[in-house]
Amino acid sequence: MREKLVALIVVSTLASAGHAMAASLEAMQGAWTMEGTDCAETFKTVDGHVRFQDRGSTLNTGIIVSGSKIAGPNQSCTATRIHQQKNHITVSLSCADAVMFSDMSVSFKIIGNDRFERFDPVFSDVLVTYHRCSR
C-alpha cells in the first residue's frame, strides 16, 4: 500500500503547461524508479519506447516523465504550475486514473544527473529517492 501511495504522489507531481514548464522539468525527463528497485523489474522497452512491465501493478514504484506529463503505473498527471526555488521545484499537478481525478503539489530536489528526491518541505524526514533508468 505504501508503494502505491508513493507512486501516486510522485506521478501526481509532474506534467505540462508550455515550454517554460517543460524546461523546468527537463532534468527529470525519462524513466525513474525508487532507490533500491531494479529498473528491469519496473520497465521494459517496446519499439524503442520505455513502458511499465506491469501497468496494473499496485507495487510498481516507477514513473515516466515526458515533457510536462508524469505517468505512473496507474495514473497520469500534468504539471499545471511550477515554482522554482533555490535548490528545488514545487509542481502543481492535475492527475487522473480510470475512475478519479485530483490536484496536488509535490516538491523535488535534483541531487545529480541520475537521481532526485521527492520530499515534503514541512517534514524534512519524509522523502523518497529515485534513480534514472533511461532518458
DSSP state of 67: T
Residue range of the domain that includes 123: 2-134
Helix, strand, coil share of the chain (percent; to 5): 15, 45, 35
Mean pLDDT of 84-101: 90
> How many domains, in total, are found in the chain?
1
> Are the CB atoms for 69 and 76 separated by under 8 Å?
yes
Mean pLDDT of 79-88: 90
* pLDDT number for residue 5: 41
Q: What is the CA radius of gyration of the chain?
A: 13
Other CB atoms within a 10 A radius of the CB of residue 106 amount to 21
In percent, the amount of the chain with pLDDT more than 70 equals 79
Give the C-alpha separation, 125 to 20, whole Å. Answer: 30
Tens digits of per-residue pLDDT, 23-62? 478 889 999 999 999 999 999 999 999 999 887 666 678 9
**Mean of all residue pLDDT scores within the chain:** 82
Torsional class of 132: left (φ above 0), alpha (ψ -120 to 50), beta (otherwise): beta
> Are the CB atoms for 62 and 33 separated by under 8 Å?
yes
* pLDDT number for residue 57: 67
* pLDDT number for residue 76: 92
